[in-house]
Amino acid sequence: MRPRFLLDNDGSNIFHNALADGADLQAIVEETVQECAPEVTTYLLCSNAGNCYFPTRVGRVDPRAKGLVAALAQGHDLFGMLLQAIKKSGRETFITMRMNDVHNPTDQDEWNTPPIRKKFPDAIVGPEEIKAGKAAWMSYCMDYSRAEVREYYLTLIRELASLYGSIIDGIQLDWMRFPRHLSGDSERIWQRRAALTEFTASARRILREAGQHLQLAARVPPTLEGCRSIGMDLAEWTRLGLVDFLVACPFLTTNWHIPIQDFRAQMGSQPVPIYAGFDFGYDLTCHHPESLRGVASCLYDCGADGLYLFNFPCWTEYLAARPYHWLRGLDRPETAGVRPIQLAVSNKVHRHEITDGPGELPAVLPAAGSLDLRIYVPRSALPAGRVLFLTHSHGDIHLAVNGQRAEPFRFNPDANSGGHRSEIFLEFVDQYFRKESRPKPLDCRLFKVRPACLCTGFNTLHVENSGGQTLEIERLHLALW
C-alpha cells in the first residue's frame, strides 16, 4: 500500500499573503490545488493561529487577514472552498488545528490573542514568569488543566465538525504549535497528564457524533521524553483508541533520526500508524532537493509509515512560485533516497530542546581542543560512490570519521575564497529573514572521505582544532553520491 505523504499548509500564505480585498477567490482555490505535488496523498489545511480562518461564531476571525475578513463579510467562506476543492482532487483532506499558537502574544492590537485568553487572562501556563518579567512567547500558552480552556477548544472542534464534517476526512490536533499546554515543572506536568487525555477523548467523541468516518490525528514531539515533558500519555491514548494516527515532528526544525520503534514499543498491542515530520530547515540552511531526499531517506529508515511536511507552502514565501517539484519521489522509500543526498549533524537553531531533543551544533572548539559529534546515515545511502563533508568551522580543523582521518580538499585558490566553498549543493537562502545565513567560503572547510569509512546508523565524527584560536563549529553537512 502506498504510504501517506502528508502536507501541512499553515494558511498564512493564503489568508494573509494572497488574499487581498476583492481577490478572485476561485482562482486562489484552483491555483492552490493545481500546484500541489501529485506525491501528496493527505492535505492538512490549518484552521487557526491564535484566531481563526473560517466563519467562526465561537472564536474570532484573524483581524490582520483583512482580505479574509472582507470575503467572509460578503458571505464567501474561502476555507470551506479550499477544503472542497482539495477533497475533489482525490486527496485525503484534514483540518489541522493549532492547540496553542502564541505568535506575538503581546502585540498591542492583540491580533493573535484568542478570546479565551482575553476572557481568562490567568488561565495560561506561565503567569508567574510574566509577573517576574521573564516571559517568553510560550508563557502565554493556555493551560489545558483548566476546564474552561478545554471547553473553548472543544467547542471550536465541534464547530469545525458541524461546518465541514461532510467534506473532510478528519481533524489533526497540532500540539507542537506551540508545545506547552500544562503549567508546572516536568513532574507536575506528568501528574496532570489526564487533562490532555480527557481532552483527546472528548475530541474523539465529537468527531464520532459528527460522522463515523471522521478520523482524529495528533502532531506530537519526536521523542518519548518530549511527549512526557508536555503531558502526553501516548500509551493511554492508543490503549483507549483515541487517535487514528500520530505525527512525530519537531517544533520548527529537522530531526534526522526519530525513534519510531520506541514509539511503537510504548504503544504495545495497540499500535497506530506513525508519520515522521520536519520543518523548513536544519540549521540556518533552508531545505533544498538534496537535503529533502536526505531527511526523507533517514526517516523512512527509522521506520516511519510515511512523511509529513510541516508548513511546506510557506517555506519559500519569498519566491514567486513554491517549488513543489522538489518533492518528486519523496512519497516512497524506494525513490526518496535517489542520490545525491545531503545529511547534517543536528543543530540547535529553531530547536525546542525540551520536546525535540538536544542539538549538537553550534559548538565551541577551544584551541587544540576536540569534540565528538554524531551523524545518522540511512541504509539506502550505502554503499556510496563518493562522499564529501563540509564544515562551517571559521578555521582549520582535522576531521576523522569513525576513527579514520578525512582528507582536506580545496579547489584552486583565488583571492575571494582561498579555494574553499561554503555549500556542496545550491542551497535556498531566505534573504528576507537571514541575510547573513550563507557562510563565507573562507570560514568553511571541505573534506573527502573514503566511502567505506561510513556505516549505517549513527557515525562518529571527531573534530580537532588545528589552529591557535578558539573556533565555533556552526554546521556540518555530509553529501553522498
Type of residue found at 405: R
Q: What is the pLDDT of residue 268?
A: 85
Q: Looking at the structure, give the CATH architecture of the domain made up of residues 353-480.
A: Sandwich (2.60)
Alpha helix ranges (H) inside 120-275: 127-131, 147-164, 186-191, 194-210, 224-229, 234-239, 260-267
Q: Report, as an integer, the average pLDDT of 159-179.
A: 97
C-alpha cell at 231: 503531558
Rounded to whole angstroms, the Cα distance separating 444 from 417 reads: 9
Rounded to whole angstroms, the Cα distance separating 68 from 61 reads: 8
Asked if pLDDT for residue 414 goes beyond 80, the answer is no
Between 78-88 and 147-164, two packed helices, what is the crossing angle to 10 degrees?
60
- Enter the pTM of the model: 0.95
Rounded to whole angstroms, the Cα distance separating 180 from 183 reads: 8
Compute how many other C-beta atoms are within 10 angstroms of the C-beta atom of residue 12.
20
Q: Is 392 left (phi over 0), alpha (psi -120 to 50) or beta?
A: beta
Q: Report, as an integer, the average pLDDT of 269-280.
A: 92
Q: What is the pLDDT of residue 26?
A: 94
Asked if pLDDT for residue 111 goes beyond 90, the answer is yes
Which one-letter DSSP state was computed for residue 287?
P
Rounded to whole angstroms, the Cα distance separating 258 from 478 reads: 19
Terminal-residue alpha carbon distance, the chain: 29
| pLDDT tens-digit map of 237-247 | 999 999 999 99
Q: Is 306 left (phi over 0), alpha (psi -120 to 50) or beta?
A: left
Q: Report, as an integer, the average pLDDT of 27-47.
A: 96
Mean pLDDT estimate for the chain: 94
Q: How does residue 413 score in pLDDT terms, banded at 50, 70 and 90? A: confident
Asked if pLDDT for residue 19 goes beyond 70, the answer is yes
| pLDDT tens-digit map of 310-351 | 988 776 666 778 899 999 999 999 999 999 999 999 999 999
Q: What is the pLDDT of residue 321?
A: 81
Q: What is the pLDDT of residue 271?
A: 87
Query: Which CATH number, 3.20.20.80, 2.20.25.90, 3.20.20.150, 3.30.1360.10, labels domain 5-248?
Result: 3.20.20.80
Sheet containing 370-377: give its strands across. Answer: 370-377, 457-465, 397-401, 404-405
Give me the residue spans of the domains in the chain: 5-248, 353-480
Rounded to whole angstroms, the Cα distance separating 197 from 144 reads: 10
Q: How does residue 101 score in pLDDT terms, banded at 50, 70 and 90? A: very high
Q: Is beta strand 215-220 parallel, antiparallel or unpaired with respect to 245-248?
A: parallel
Q: What is the pLDDT of residue 316?
A: 62
C-alpha cell at 290: 538534496
| pLDDT tens-digit map of 275-321 | 999 998 898 888 999 999 999 999 999 999 999 999 887 766 667 78
Residue 124's φ and ψ, nearest 5 degrees, are: -120, 165
| pLDDT tens-digit map of 365-391 | 999 999 999 999 999 999 999 999 999
Contacts of 131-138 spanning 24+ positions with Cβ under 8 A: 137/102, 137/103, 137/104, 137/105, 137/178, 138/100, 138/102, 138/178, 138/179, 138/180
Q: What is the pLDDT of residue 211?
A: 87
Q: How does residue 1 score in pLDDT terms, banded at 50, 70 and 90? A: low
Q: Report, as an integer, the average pLDDT of 466-471.
A: 92
Q: What is the pLDDT of residue 311?
A: 87
Rounded to whole angstroms, the Cα distance separating 373 from 223 reads: 19
Q: How does residue 434 score in pLDDT terms, banded at 50, 70 and 90? A: low
**Is the bond into 127 cis (omega within 30 degrees of 0)?**
no
Q: How far is CA 47 from the centre of its chain?
A: 17
Q: What is the pLDDT of residue 436?
A: 66
Q: Report CA-CA distances (Å) from 434 to 280, 316, 350, 364.
A: 13, 13, 13, 22
Contact between residue 330 and residue 293 where contact means Cβ atoms under 8 Å apart? yes
